[in-house]
């Protein structure tokens, strides 16, 4: 099965890659998760007949944390608070002034997933002998034009990018960033289109000279 590499750059003033273990005062991972990267690619071009597999992130700006406060009025409030029309102040630790270069592979979905995709996606899949190549070509055209399926975001929806597009020649990984992330959320719907909820984590994720590589296989720590 041939793989087709796609890449893009994204930057913005604020980003939040939520660590699930930080509770109701969430803290961001220093780098986007596997599922966040997949979501950014799919926001440019969504197609259930093709699987997007992120494999590398380059951190191209210093890692700077910042306190973020906002008034939350969503459905996760307690019922008593909702009934009175009240809200609560959400405290978070976010990243600021971020720049990332993201890389992924576009490959056809497995036979098991293909049986679940919508009829229109199945029809599109039947018209090409190389879905990965078709996806990559369409993705690059849309990225060049600034078109997208949905507006890309840097984690939380309110954190929109100030740039998303092809890689800039002037953007380079930060060679001074080296760390190991002991446990990092990988995905919550890891089995493709129509996947059931299943939490999967990667262990001891290394960032070397500003570059993080995702493992090729699913992590052992799945819940």
Does 164 reside within a domain?
Answer: yes
Does 223 reside within a domain?
Answer: no
Going by C-alpha positions, the residue among 98, 93, 95 that lies closest to residue 22 is 93
* CA contacts within 13 A on the Cβ side of 26: 16
Does 157 reside within a domain?
Answer: yes
CB 222 within 8 A of CB 194: no
Does 137 reside within a domain?
Answer: yes
Does 166 reside within a domain?
Answer: yes
Residue whose token pair is 């799919």: 42
SS3 content of the chain, % helix, strand, coil (to 5): 20, 35, 45
What is the structure's pLDDT at 134? 87
Tell me how far the alpha carbon of residue 158 is from its chain's centroid: 15
What is the structure's pLDDT at 111? 62
- Our count of domains for the chain comes to 1
Share of the chain above pLDDT 70, in %: 87
- What residues contact residue 186 under an 8 Å CB cut-off, 6+ apart? 33, 34, 35, 200, 201, 202, 214, 218, 219
Using a 10 angstrom Cβ sphere, with 0-12 exposed, 13-18 middle and 19 or more buried, the burial of residue 160 is middle
Q: Which residues are paired to 57 by β-bridges?
A: 102, 212
**CATH of residue 141:** 3.30.70.2660
CB 108 within 8 A of CB 132: yes
Going by C-alpha positions, the residue among 107, 18, 11, 108 that lies closest to residue 57 is 11
Distance CA 142, CA 20 (A): 33
Across residues 43-52, what is the average pLDDT? 86
Q: Kindly report, residue by residue over 128-153, the tens digit of the pLDDT.
A: 767 788 889 999 999 999 999 999 99
Q: Kindly report, residue by residue over 168-198, the tens digit of the pLDDT.
A: 999 999 999 999 999 999 998 887 777 788 8
Does 148 reside within a domain?
Answer: yes
Does 82 reside within a domain?
Answer: no
What is the structure's pLDDT at 222? 41
CB 39 within 8 A of CB 133: no
Residues in the chain, overall count: 223
Going by C-alpha positions, the residue among 7, 8, 12, 6 that lies closest to residue 157 is 12
- pLDDT, averaged across the chain: 87
Q: Which domain holds residue 164?
A: 4-76+88-172+211-218
Does 190 reside within a domain?
Answer: no
Confidence of residue 41 (pLDDT cuts 50, 70, 90): very high
> What is the reported pTM?
0.86
Distance CA 54, CA 187 (A): 11
């Amino acid at each position: 099965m041939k793989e087709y590499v796609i890449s893009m750059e994204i930057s913005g003033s604020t980003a939040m890659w939520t660590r699930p273990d930080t509770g109701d005062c969430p803290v961001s991972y220093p780098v986007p998760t596997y599922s966040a990267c997949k979501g950014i690619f799919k926001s440019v071009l969504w197609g259930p007949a093709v699987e997007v597999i992120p494999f590398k992130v380059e951190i191209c700006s210093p890692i700077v944390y910042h306190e973020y406060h906002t008034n939350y009025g969503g459905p996760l409030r307690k019922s008593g608070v909702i009934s009175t029309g009240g809200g609560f102040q959400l405290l978070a630790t976010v990243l600021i002034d971020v720049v990332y270069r993201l890389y992924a592979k576009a490959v056809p979905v497995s036979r098991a997933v293909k049986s679940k995709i919508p009829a229109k996606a199945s029809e599109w899949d039947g018209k090409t002998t190389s879905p990965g190549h078709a996806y990559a070509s369409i993705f690059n055209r849309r990225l060049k034009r600034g078109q997208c399926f949905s507006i890309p975001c840097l984690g939380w929806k309110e954190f929109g990018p100030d740039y998303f597009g092809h890689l800039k020649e002037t953007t380079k990984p930060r060679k001074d960033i080296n760390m190991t992330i002991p446990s990092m959320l990988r995905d919550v719907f890891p089995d493709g289109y129509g996947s059931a909820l299943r939490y999967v984590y990667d262990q001891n994720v290394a960032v070397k000279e500003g570059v993080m590589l995702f493992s090729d296989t699913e992590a052992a720590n799945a819940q």
